[in-house]
Every structure is written in structure tokens, then in C-alpha cells.
């Protein structure tokens, strides 16, 4: 029985597709994460700005994947469609086994097609209104990532885009879980996508003093929980997970990565950009997720932390983790490798948590060398991957505006 006193259908992750700075496919991304290999590097798109580096997707040839259609899609939609195709191929449904009217798409994003807005705005200013692309709006609006996935794969269930800032990927997984539990869908492709490495977005974060300014040493810039952390690195990419009931996966012999056991969400209602200083409402979301999953804090052996490498955010989250788990759960942040992928981060990190459960390995927190003096006493995995059985893991995500979202995953 669950904490709410009724039994939910078991929902599993049967396919994963990833396009990330750590790799343009799931296997490469997972290998890079487990190696703790940072991907931040100088980015020519940011030349001349205050921050000149990012965690960019490499090894992804948009022209090769989409041909001439690439001109009709913003990169955030391209990442989503490529990840969704890979996720479905990984889940390997038999022909005709999924009713397209019963397959949904739920994606999260923070800024949508921002690159298109900036490019077309520049055209308008420089060359006048007749040079603006008439497809600007359909390329850039936030819902078009989910819409593009549905069109590309011929899916006719609900297609939704949720925007809860940097919690959006996790919020999408939670909403998808509800669609499956309610019986509205048989399968949901859920995840997050972002292509926010643009001059305006990067400069705006820099003006907020949210970014690391280690332009001379980008690979050491994202350092979650470390004493010398000074801000996050903007990343880009997407992850899409195939969620379905365990019976349908098992019927075709598919061995799932993990079970999606529970979801919790809350709002700080505190500040535009800063978290509640005590982490009370992040903790509320975590407890709600554990209750929804029907597990106790003592059952959890891994926390994939939000931990972006910002001074305040990491300290607040570490104190919250200490209160709930003490040193009973290992903690990692993969943002030392991928940077902060904003609305895609939660989906990427849930995918990493599922792979951790499958492989019984925890990726190290890249660039963590000296524990922050303000970081609570928690068990941070660093220096090398840790090999240990992981029955239950949680993945935290928090966003501007005080959005908190947590998912709980378990062994399939």
C-alpha cells in the first residue's frame, strides 16, 4: 500500500533517450557521468561576453538527423525529438502494441525557443520586419517541443509542456506519473529539454551573479558542494523517458531500468530567485514524494541532488538532506559534468538515477575537492564512482519562483 492508503499501478522506466553535453546518446552520457569528466568549455556563441563558456551538446549533427526540417525547429525542439526517438527505440515496442491515442507526451522547459526569439529580434532591429521568419512563433513557443514529439512519432494522446523553471523536467515526470495512474494514458514520453546557451540568457544569469566566472578554467567551474563554488554553468540538451505500467513492459519481455515510485511538489512562496533559507518547502516536497512512493527515508540509499554549484542553493539543500537522511544516503550531483541544463536538468538526473539503480553505481560529484564550510555533514560521493546496491533513489529539482519537485525511483 502507498502512503495514501490505496494501491497505485506500478510504473516503470522502459526506455531512455538523452542528448546532453556529456554525450549525444545515453551510453556515452552515462559513461561520462561515471567518469566524473566535466564538459564545460569555451563557447564561441558567447564570445565577448562576461561569461564565455558553457556545457554545450557536441556530436549531434542536426542536419544529419533532421535534414532540411532542421530550419523549421528551434534547437530545444530538435533535442526533444531526438531524445524521444531514442527513448522509444530503446523501449522497443512491438509494431501496433501501443495505441497512439493512449500515448502522451509531457515535457518541461524553462525558456523554450529562446535562441529563435533572439535571432529574429536581431533581424528585426538590423534589417527590418520583412526579414523576420514567419515561422518564428511556431518555432519558439514553449509547447512546440511536446507538439513536435507528438507529430514526429504520430502520437495522439495529450501533449503538454510544463514550465516550472529548473524543476520542469522533474515536474513533467510527476505529471506523467499521474496520467498513468489515472488511466488516462497507457504510455507517456516524459522529460525535459532546453537550449538556453544564448547571449541574452547567459548574460542575464551572469547579471544575477548566478554563474561561475572561471573563464580561464571552465572545466573546473561547476563544483557542487565545494568550498570554492561560485555559481553554475549553463548547459543544454534533453532527456526523455518512456513510462508505462509494468505489465505492458513485461508482456514484451522488456526489462525496465527502474520503477518510478513517487512524486512530490511544493512552492517556497518566498522570493523570485532565492530558495527559502531553511529549505522547509523543499523538504515538504521530498516528504510528499516519499509518502507517495510508500517508502521511508531510511529506505533511500541515493540522493541525486539538485546542487547547481551556487553558494546559497547548495548549502540550503545540503542542510535539508542532512535533516532527512543524515549520512544514511549517498549524495551526488552530476551538474559538475553537465552544467545546469535548466528545464532539462531534472529529466537528465532522473535518468542518471535510474541508471545508477540498474548498474548499482553512483557517479562522482565532479570538481568536489574541499567540503564547503557551510555544507552540512552529508555523504557526498566524489573522486571515483561508488559501486553499491541501490534499492531506492530520490532526485531533487528546484527552480526560480520557488518551485520544488522530487521523484522517487526504485529497483525494477
Q: How many CB atoms lie within 10 A of CB 31?
A: 14
From residue 6, alpha-carbon distances to 56, 166, 263, 264 in Å are: 44, 31, 15, 17
Q: Are the C-beta atoms of residues 87 and 17 closer than 8 Å to each other? A: yes
> CB-side exposure of 305: number of CA atoms within 13 Å?
32
Catalytic site positions: 166, 306, 340
The three-point CA angle 399-404-410 to 5° equals 120
User: Is the sign of the CA dihedral 142, 133, 49, 236 positive or negative?
Assistant: positive
Find the DSSP H helices in 155-300. Answer: 168-181, 199-207, 246-251, 280-293
- Of 341, 322, 354, 353, which Cα lies nearest the Cα of 399? 341
Q: How many CB atoms lie within 10 A of CB 211?
A: 27
Residue with C-alpha cell 519562483?
A: 401
Amino acid at each position: 500500500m502507498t502512503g495514501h492508503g490505496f494501491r497505485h499501478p506500478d510504473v516503470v522506466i522502459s526506455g531512455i533517450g538523452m542528448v546532453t553535453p556529456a554525450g549525444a546518446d545515453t551510453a556515452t552520457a552515462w559513461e561520462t557521468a561515471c567518469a566524473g569528466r566535466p564538459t564545460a568549455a569555451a563557447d564561441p556563441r558567447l564570445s565577448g561576453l562576461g561569461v564565455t563558456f558553457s556545457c554545450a551538446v557536441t556530436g549531434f549533427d542536426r542536419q544529419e538527423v533532421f535534414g532540411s526540417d532542421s530550419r523549421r525547429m528551434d534547437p530545444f525542439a530538435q533535442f526533444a525529438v531526438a531524445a524521444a526517438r531514442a527513448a522509444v527505440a530503446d523501449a522497443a515496442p512491438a509494431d501496433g502494441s501501443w495505441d497512439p491515442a493512449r500515448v502522451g507526451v509531457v515535457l518541461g522547459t524553462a525558456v523554450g525557443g529562446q535562441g529563435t526569439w533572439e535571432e529574429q529580434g536581431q533581424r528585426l532591429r538590423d534589417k527590418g520586419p520583412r526579414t523576420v521568419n514567419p515561422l518564428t512563433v511556431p518555432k519558439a513557443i514553449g509547447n512546440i517541443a511536446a507538439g513536435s514529439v507528438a507529430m514526429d512519432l504520430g502520437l495522439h494522446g495529450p501533449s503538454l509542456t510544463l514550465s516550472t523553471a529548473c524543476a520542469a523536467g522533474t515536474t513533467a515526470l510527476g505529471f506523467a506519473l499521474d496520467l498513468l495512474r489515472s488511466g488516462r494514458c497507457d504510455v507517456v514520453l516524459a522529460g525535459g529539454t532546453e537550449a538556453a546557451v544564448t547571449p541574452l540568457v547567459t548574460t542575464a544569469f551572469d547579471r544575477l551573479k548566478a554563474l561561475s566566472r572561471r573563464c580561464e578554467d571552465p572545466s573546473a567551474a561547476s563544483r557542487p558542494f565545494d568550498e570554492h563554488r561560485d555559481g553554475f554553468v549553463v548547459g543544454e540538451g534533453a532527456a526523455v523517458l518512456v513510462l508505462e505500467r509494468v505489465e505492458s513492459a513485461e508482456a514484451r519481455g522488456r526489462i525496465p531500468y527502474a520503477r518510478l515510485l513517487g512524486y512530490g511538489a511544493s512552492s517556497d512562496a518566498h522570493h523570485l530567485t532565492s530558495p527559502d533559507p531553511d529549505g522547509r518547502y523543499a523538504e515538504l516536497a521530498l516528504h510528499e514524494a516519499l509518502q507517495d512512493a510508500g517508502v521511508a527515508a531510511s529506505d533511500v540509499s541515493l540522493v541525486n541532488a539538485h546542487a547547481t554549484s551556487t553558494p546559497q542553493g547548495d548549502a540550503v539543500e545540503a542542510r535539508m538532506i542532512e535533516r532527512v537522511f543524515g549520512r544514511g544516503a549517498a549524495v551526488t550531483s552530476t551538474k559538475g559534468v553537465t552544467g545546469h541544463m535548466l528545464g532539462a536538468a531534472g529529466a537528465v538526473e532522473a535518468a542518471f538515477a535510474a541508471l545508477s539503480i540498474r548498474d548499482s553505481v553512483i557517479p562522482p560529484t565532479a570538481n568536489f575537492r574541499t567540503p564547503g564550510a557551510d555544507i552540512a555533514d552529508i555523504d557526498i560521493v566524489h573522486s571515483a564512482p561508488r559501486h553499491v546496491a541501490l534499492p531506492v533513489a530520490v532526485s531533487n529539482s528546484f527552480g526560480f519562483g520557488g518551485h520544488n519537485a522530487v521523484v522517487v525511483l526504485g529497483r525494477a
